[in-house]
Structure 1
Amino acid sequence: MKTLLRSIDPLQFVALALLGLPTLALFGLGMFWLWQTGHLIAWLIVMAVCGGLAYGLQIWSVRRRRKLLNELFTDSNPDWPPRAADVWQEVETLADSCDPQDWPLDQTGWIIELGRRTLHTVSSYYFPDTERPLLELTVPHTLLIIEQASRDLRRDVTENIPFSDRLTLGDLLRAKRWKSRAEQAYNVYRAGRIVVNPINALFGEFWRLFRERSFTLARNEFQRWFLRAYIRKVGYYAIDLYSRRQPLASTDLQTPAATPPLTSALDLERAQQAEDKLAEPLHILVLGRTNAGKSSLINALYGKLIAATDILPDTTYELSPALLQRDGFTQALIYDSPGCDSVFYDAHQMQTAALEADLILWVTPANRPDRQIERRALDALRAAQATRLNRRPPPLLVAVSHIDLLRPANEWQPPYDLTDQLNVKAANIRAAVAAVAADLSVPVTQVIPVCLKEGKVYNVKDTFWAAMLAEQDTALRVRLLRCLDADKRASDWALLRRQLRNAGRFLWELPDKIKE
């Protein structure tokens, strides 16, 4: 302060005071006139009301700006595996707990530290038994996450923050350098104003408090949004990579934002590859015990005989695919399988097939209460699926067949209303559905009673097809992760071959480079 006072020319100070004196005198005389006419209290009330309204409008503007910024937030991907949803909750918790006061944007250390915390949060979920899970992330993957998050954040800032494309880092540094000097000069002005006109200084300080409060709210709101957006984007791409949705060698960087228009032949080629991936048929696996009606269900779905059915114990020796096409349903390959109680049933083969399936149809007879072997086979499939954290388990529908054999066995007059308490057949069908749901640990809404006997097919083309259509979106998400997993494995092998080829070329040319 003393240095600043010594640097001020007294003559310049007097000149500035003379220039401001008429304005200060006008304000003082106006206050004196208001006091003389008895309007000073009314003026103070009006000023307070206007100040309160201005402050309220500022708060409303901040909330409106917060709502607009929240719309730019990266959200979770519905195509992620179920485990990724839990990881995303942790990322959101970390983002919400980020206080702008602890992470000033003018200090670049926040970029590295917040990125490290976000990556540690994600990696701890995927490597819970590792002492330092963050080190399980490769250097190229780390760079890819930073690249993608920075690209998206740059787009959001450029599109939504005015003049962000004009202000340079030098401008910010110069503004910070002159900030302290400007504050010192302003403090001298404030002290002089108190001496010349105390009332004017009092109201000036009042308005300055409102302005600083409004500016601080807006600045903190933007800074909070910026930090939270950064954490969410880093977390999003980290989960994408840990879920094996993002091949490292792929140049087609997926983004949670809208896909830009195609502008090049390369874009068209990538779009064609995406369409080919979406054209991959669904894989539907039909499982169940011997003579439960697996092949008959496939026949009923097609409406014509395409699978072998017989009265022999089992006619299916291996997985037999058939192409399933129907209006409103995605093209699918449906696989028949040997019965889970058959000598041809290979548990390991069926588990592998179930891991590659997008929808599983389980067929169980209503007249066979001994379902222990079915439950063991189904639990083995569930246990195998639970080990695949980067994949969604396929939805399961259970078809309860042979309902025509339930008591009274001689009666068969469909359709049956399962809510009818007076109809004995309907009551027995309802009881069989509840028993199957309990024995196989399946929600009762996923259990559909059907009749598959030739000439008596019932509840397949309406209720069972409706259930399959209801599960179609979930099955498509399972298919997407299956295709991405296959692409990831293929790209990993292609990358390894390219790395070995480039390394061999480098070693081959190394002697010539040394000679040069």
Structure 2
Amino acid sequence: MRAARTIRRYWRETALVILVILPWAALFPLGFLWLWRNSVVNWWILAAATMGAAAFALRIDIARSAMVEAQAEAEKASPPSPEWGAREEEAWKLVQQIARETQPFSFTEAEPIRVALERAVDAVATHFHPGAPHARLRITLPEGLLLAERLLRDLRVAIITHVPGARSIRLSDAAWAKETFDRYGEATRRVYSFADVILRLVRSVGNPKGGFLAEANRLLIGQVGGFLSMRLRAELTLLLIHEIGRAAIDAHSGRLRLADDELSTAARVESEAAEEDLVGPVRILLLGQVNAGKSSLLNAMAEQVHRAVGPTPMRSDVEELALKFEGRPEVVLIDTPGVGNEPAASKTLRDKVETADLIIWVASATQPARSLDVEALRKIRAIFKDRTDLHMPPVLCAMTHIDELTPAFEWVPPYDLIRADRPKAISIREAIEHVGDLLDIPCERIVPVYVRDIGGAYNIDLLWNLIASRLDEARAVKIRRLQSVAAGFSVPAVLSQMAAGGRWLAKAIRQTRS
């Protein structure tokens, strides 16, 4: 009844569509009639066959290149997250491999889609939990709920962006459409199929050539339409598998242990200086040998003396200094004793490294022995190789004592290290390359600095700019650390949850009795 009312309501619009389309739809039979009367039908068939052969060759090329081009577009639209570590990137390669091996979905059947998506999720879960039973379920209830929340939020954005009239279509409209289809859909499809068969038979009997051409045209249009949609279907298939794989990686790597507001709370617990920033100030660890210039660098970056400096080690403790300058990143500098082989020093190094977001290795340009630097950096990299739940902080290098390089009596900065047209500039550049090779730090992450005199400090602004360029990477390290901490068992947290549950239960009982 509602369908009939709708047709009666829009009969003018329906008539308008018919009047516009009918003249163009009549062109095919009228054109064929003209070809028949002018005896050029055979020539038309020959031309159509030639074009069909060319179309067949083009079809083969499309089939060969569609997946390759779709893969390139999908990888561009869905790149790996810059916050991922090595283990997450390995899982992402598994997802990409599954996406490449999956034939484009037709999007008319649900079963192939379900099988492919479950394969991607299981591959990620097995990667993070090898040998574990029910690996895909090894996430906590809060993680599952946060995952569902994020997927539904992304789905909402996609619907608003790509579905015409999404803000106007009500769920009641969808329910009516489903009821109508369930009631009349199958009967309508049968009537249409029967009428189509009868029409094709009548056409073939009454006009064999016309019937043959109509069937060829029908087949050609169907094949062309299918192949023209192949790349689109391939891109959608790859994107769908990529996004489901991305969600599975975030869930099983522990990245969903904390929501954004919980991250902010955890950051405030770790550092009272956290304010509006999601994870608070970046924690920068200053490391290097004794007398490399760590305290002098801290003073230069702070633009005032906070640590005493001298020819011998002045202090053996660790000091943290929060810095907040306009136009510069908010950071916490952590000055440490010189690296060494003492057990206490190694324990301090490990503890501080695991709570750092970024490392500045302070290396003296005039230090001939660098075995302590090399060994300490090797230990740090080994820490994060074993701790797959943490990310390795980015490592920068501040090369001090550059004024003492040959010629020792020349110190007239600034120096152009690209052209290196002065002897001092050549010495600085060679020192950078030497330190970079030994410590396995790219030269573009090494800044030569002069920090002996705060008032005459050199290249500190360049060091700040380098820190700013690595800020996103450092924040990703901090988020990962907070998530790892949240995954551990906490007696106070459990007691707090028990107390909250008890209060809720008591309140529910009182409401029931009243």
TM-score (norm 2): 0.71
Give 1:334 deviation, angstroms.
0.7
CA distance 1:170–1:48, change in 2 (3 Å): farther
Deviations 1:164-208 (A, max 9, x none): 966655666664676467445533432232112212212221232
Structure 1 residues 395, 106: closer, same or farther in 2, change over 3 A? closer
Equivalent position of 2:121 in the other structure: 119
Structure 1 stretches lacking a partner, 5+ long: 1-25, 255-273
Matched letter for residue 152 of structure 1: D
Structure 1 Cα separation of the partners of residues 277 and 29 of structure 2? 78
Distance 1:492 1:82, change over 3 A: farther
1:301 counterpart = 2:305: no
Q: Distance in 2 between matches of 1:72 and 1:427?
A: 41
Pick one of 97, 102, 110 that aligns with 2:101.
97
Aligned-partner residue type, residue 98 of structure 2: L
Percent identity over paired residues: 28
Amino acid at match of 2:283: H
Pair 1:76 & 2:86 matched: no
Counterpart contact for 2:143–2:256, Cα < 8 Å:
no
Secondary structure of 1:283's counterpart equals: strand
Match of 1:193 in 2: 203
Distance 2:241 2:407 in 1: 64
Q: Distance in 2 between matches of 1:333 and 1:426?
A: 32
The letter for the 1-side match of 2:126 is S
Contact 1:395 1:474 (C-alpha < 8 Å) held by counterparts: yes
Relative to structure 2, which stretch is displaced further, 293-302 or 419-428? 419-428
Closer, same or farther: CA 370–169 of 1 in aligned 2, 3 Å = farther
Deviation at 1:240, TM superposition (A): 1.5
Q: Quick check: 1:73–1:232 contact (8 Å CA) kept in 2? A: no
Deviations 1:215-267 (A, max 9, x none): 5457766665554444233212221223322237x59899xxxxxxxxxxxxx
Following TM superposition, by how much is the alpha carbon of 1:151 offset from its aligned partner in structure 2, in angstroms? 5.4
CA 1:40/1:367 → structure 2, altered by over 3 Å: closer, same or farther?
closer
Q: Which residue identity does 2:288 align to in structure 1?
A: G
CA RMSD of aligned residues (A): 4.7
In the alignment, structure 1 residue 331 sits paired with structure 2 residue 330: yes
Deviation, 1:506, is 10
What does 1:30-109 align with in structure 2 at a 5 Å threshold? 34-38=35-39, 40=41, 74-100=78-104, 105-107=108-110, 109=111
Partner SS for 2:452: coil
User: CA 1:499/1:170 → structure 2, altered by over 3 Å: closer, same or farther?
Assistant: farther
User: In structure 1, the residue corresponding to 2:393 is in which secondary structure?
Assistant: coil
For residues 429 and 472 of structure 1, the distance between their equivalents in structure 2, rounded to whole angstroms, comes to 26
Which residue matches 1:136? Answer: 138
8 A Cα contact 1:363 1:400, kept in partner: yes
Counterpart CA distance in 1 for 2:31 and 2:459 is 90
Task: Identify if the C-alpha distance between structure 1 residues 399 and 71 changes in structure 2 by more than 3 Å, giving closer, same or farther.
Answer: closer
Distance 1:47 1:372, change over 3 A: closer
1:202 corresponding residue in structure 2: 212
Question: Which deviates further from its counterpart, 139-148 or 388-397?
Answer: 139-148
- Is the 8 Å Cα contact of residues 414 and 458 (structure 1) preserved in structure 2? no
In 2 relative to 1, CA 37–336 (structure 1 residues): closer, same or farther, beyond 3 Å? closer
Counterpart CA distance in 2 for 1:230 and 1:460 is 47
Greater shift, 178-187 or 87-96, is seen at: 178-187
SS of the counterpart of 1:317?
Answer: coil
Which residue pairs with 1:346 in the alignment?
345
Partner of 1:22: none
Amino acid at match of 1:306: H
Change over 3 Å in CA distance of 1:340–1:28 after alignment to 2: closer
CA displacement at 1:357 relative to structure 2: 1.4
Q: Distance in 1 between matches of 2:40 and 2:456?
A: 93
Write out aligned runs for 1:234-383 (5 A). 234-247=244-257, 250=259, 276-278=276-278, 280-311=280-311, 313-341=312-340, 346-383=345-382
In 2, are the aligned partners of 1:81 and 1:243 still within 8 Å (CA)?
no
Report SS of the residue matched to 2:330. strand
Gaps of 5+ in 2: 1-26, 264-273
Cα distance in 1, alignment partners of residues 186 and 386 from structure 2: 54
Partners in 2 of 1:244 and 1:191 — Cα distance?
63
Change (3 A) 1:136 1:214: same
